[in-house]
Amino acid sequence: MTDLLPLSLRVEGRRVLVVGGGAVASRSVPGLLAAGADVLVVAPEPSPPLVALADAGSVRLERRPFVAADLDEVWLAVTATGVAAVDAAVSAEAERRRVWCVDRGDAARASAWTPGVARVDDVTVAVSAGRDPRRAGRLRDGVAAALQSGDLPLRRARPRAAGRVALVGGGPADPGLLTARGRRLLAEADVVVTDRLGPRGVLAELDEEVLVVDVGKTPGNHPVPQEKINDLLVEHGLAGRLVVRLKGGDPYVFGRGGEELAACRAAGLDVEVVPGVTSAVSVPAAVGIPVTHRGVSRGFTVLTGHEDLVATPSALAGVPVEAHTVVLLMGVSALATSAAALVASGRPPSTPVAVVEDGYGPRQRATFGTLADVAGRAEAAGVRPPAVVVVGDVVTLAPGWPAAATDGTGAGAGPPRHRTTAYPA
């Protein structure tokens, strides 16, 4: 099809004539309205959707056959009556008047074609496929999926009109658990400010010109204070860049996303928050532990293990004891005092506990025990951060629990990674 010149038409405020009132004509109108066209529909028997649009004032509707004068002041015509003689007459009159015409009845007769269109944010891709609309539709859907997933190079080459900041929850270490929206923003990013616990494998996919700023923290070592991180986001955003703050887990689950959001908004920046798969749920699932389970746990509470639960008993106030799971994030260093506080709050010392290290990472494993002995078992096993602590009877549902209860060590490698883990029925 070398005789086609692909163009994008700006029809906003310009008159577009649609001749025909059936299903094909009805499908043409919404796209024209979305582009801001002034749509005139001419049809003796319009379909109910077209009548509804006319009643709402979205289109002008003339219930009569086509006449040549309908093309007066028209920039583009679409004919889809299903009657060959009528469509041919519309096409011929449009050709005589030098008005571009899309002829739904005969593409060879048409002077203009409408392609399959994929739109993602400010990117529009049009696909023509040799007079085969179904083929074009499949290609369009494939392009749209690639745009949505960030598989296509979306990064701008020209400066942006204004900077933006996106707080993206990366989930645990597995890039497969990053959302499609997060991947798309990374594909567009000019600057990525990344944490230590996010899916760092995706950084290798970035354009070589993207600036990556590592602000990762380790226990007891915060080389880049939170205030400086806020300043970095604001600085690059005000410079007109798209800044992606890639965080492990979810920005709003002990991720200080709210503080970063407030700092960026105070600077007048547009901010988007993309939720992530929180480690409070995903990391226990990696070793076969559901945080809720019918007949075992009716709910769960997520707490930060950084706080001394013995010194701050109010942290456990109102947290149910029966049929309830407690998840501690960042809780390795205070595991002994946290276990004591949970016992003091009414939980039996025999309550099952799992400490899951490096969920979805290369050294993933689970160490099992009870509130009475888990701290000692974790120390003996050499448990180290990052780790998630799960307290409650749901721990016994893990495939590794029976062995832990009988072999006297409480430590095991846990099941394979999430793609191959066999969960209990």
Range 292-317 average pLDDT? 83
Q: What are the residues facing 388 on neighbouring strands?
A: 329, 356
Would you say 41 and 25 are in contact if contact means Cβ atoms under 8 Å apart? yes
How do strand 242-247 and strand 270-274 relate by DSSP bridges? unpaired
Range 130-159 average pLDDT? 82
pLDDT of residue 420: 28
Whose tokens are 């806020």? That residue is 230
CA distance 279 to 276: 9
pLDDT of residue 423: 29
For residue 422, which amino acid is it? A
How do strand 38-42 and strand 15-19 relate by DSSP bridges? parallel
- Distance of alpha carbon 2 from the chain centroid: 38
Q: What is the mean pLDDT of the chain?
A: 88
Range 212-234 average pLDDT? 84
Count CB-CB contacts under 10 A for residue 52.
Answer: 12
The string of pLDDT tens digits covering residues 153-168 is 888 877 777 899 999 9
The string of pLDDT tens digits covering residues 20-32 is 999 999 999 999 9
Range 202-208 average pLDDT? 88
Range 84-91 average pLDDT? 96
Residue 310 scores a pLDDT above 70: no
Residue 90 scores a pLDDT above 70: yes
pLDDT of residue 421: 31
Query: In angstroms, how far is the first alpha carbon of the chain from the final one?
Result: 56
Q: How confident is the model at residue 364 (pLDDT cuts 50, 70, 90)?
A: very high
Residue 177 scores a pLDDT above 70: yes
The string of pLDDT tens digits covering residues 371-404 is 999 999 999 999 999 999 999 999 999 998 875 5
Nearest CA among 313, 191, 200, 279 for reference residue 243: 191
Confirm whether pTM is higher than 0.85: no
Q: What are the residues facing 18 on neighbouring strands?
A: 41, 78
Residue 308 scores a pLDDT above 70: no
Residue 340 scores a pLDDT above 90: yes
pLDDT of residue 419: 30
For residue 346, which amino acid is it? G
For residue 383, which amino acid is it? V
Range 53-60 average pLDDT? 96
pLDDT of residue 307: 65
Residue 129 scores a pLDDT above 60: yes
For residue 166, the surrounding DSSP H or E stretch is strand 164-169
The string of pLDDT tens digits covering residues 249-272 is 999 999 899 999 999 999 999 999
359 to 198, 250, 251, 319, 422: CA distances (angstroms): 11, 15, 18, 25, 16
Residue 405 scores a pLDDT above 60: no
Residue 104 scores a pLDDT above 60: yes
- The structure tokens listed for 111 are 């002077």
Task: Identify which of 3-17, 127-141, 207-221, 283-297 has the greatest average pLDDT.
Answer: 283-297
Range 232-243 average pLDDT? 95
Q: How confident is the model at residue 220 (pLDDT cuts 50, 70, 90)?
A: low
pLDDT of residue 398: 95
pLDDT of residue 179: 92
Q: Where in the sequence numbering do the catalytic residues fall?
A: 195, 217
pLDDT of residue 262: 97
Would you say 106 and 133 are in contact if contact means Cβ atoms under 8 Å apart? no
The answer to whether the Cα torsion of 63, 69, 75, 78 is positive or negative is: positive
Phi, psi of 272 (to 5 degrees): -115, 140
Q: Percent of the chain beyond pLDDT 90?
A: 63
Residue 230 scores a pLDDT above 80: yes
Residue 132 scores a pLDDT above 80: no
CA distance 3 to 6: 10
